[in-house]
Copies of this chain bind each other. A is one copy, B any other.
Amino acid sequence: MVAAPVEFWFEFSSPYGYIGAERISAVAGGRPITWRPFLLGAVFKVTGAKPLVGQGEPKDSYFRRDFVRTAAFYGLTVKMPDRFPFAAIAATRACYWAEAHAPERMGDLALALYRACYRDGQSITDTEVIASIATSTGLDGAALAAGLSEPAIKQRAIDAADQALAAGVFGSPFVTIDGERFWGSDRLDQVERWLTRGAW
């Protein structure tokens, strides 16, 4: 019997999503991971939630500090993007182009895009940047860049947000396993125990 995959839901313009992406493989207990980028803004329209930063004080300064401190707690050096939140539509489509053409590289691409953004300070809203990152992960960057405007790829990125809502997902990162929901990079310790020792 093949174990059902761990569904890893995330939005690229989500700092804690990046922390989750760095940790998910280590906590997945050998299960396959399904990478599910989606546009959190589309979900927020339904739930009424707001982006992490941009709500004013005392929250803005907290999240900026907490992101850096929490990343460092896990050994990661990060920096908030200069522009935040940013439009993750192109990066999201890029992942679904990879899923359609080289699904085994989708996770590598997602992580490379995230690292470019939060570790290396690159702007992953730019198609040329995305194509260059895709090439570095072994994909055909030029074909990927052209594919970002294909109707089927655009639709796939839209559908992902609907699928997230249908799965009860309302934030980033989010993990679903066998119908059980875990919200936030904070919950990955529970994900690890769930996958290695079962429900408690």
Contact = CB atoms under 8 A, between A and B. Distances in A.
A79 interface: no
Contacts of A183: 62, 66
A62 B200 contact: no
A200 B189 CA distance: 20
A151 interface: no
Contact of A69 (B48, B65, B190): B190
Interface magnitude class on chain A: 20 to 34
The dominant DSSP class at the A interface is: helix
Interface string A61-76: 1100110011011000
Contacts of A200: 69, 72-73
B58 A170 contact: yes
8 contacts: A47-B55, A58-B168, A66-B182, A69-B200, A70-B190, A73-B190, A73-B200, A186-B187
Interface of A: 47-48, 55, 57-59, 61-62, 65-66, 69-70, 72-73, 165, 168-170, 181-184, 186-187, 189-190, 193, 200
Across chains A and B, which 4 residue pairs bring their CB atoms closest together, nearest first? A186-B186, A58-B168, A58-B170, A72-B200
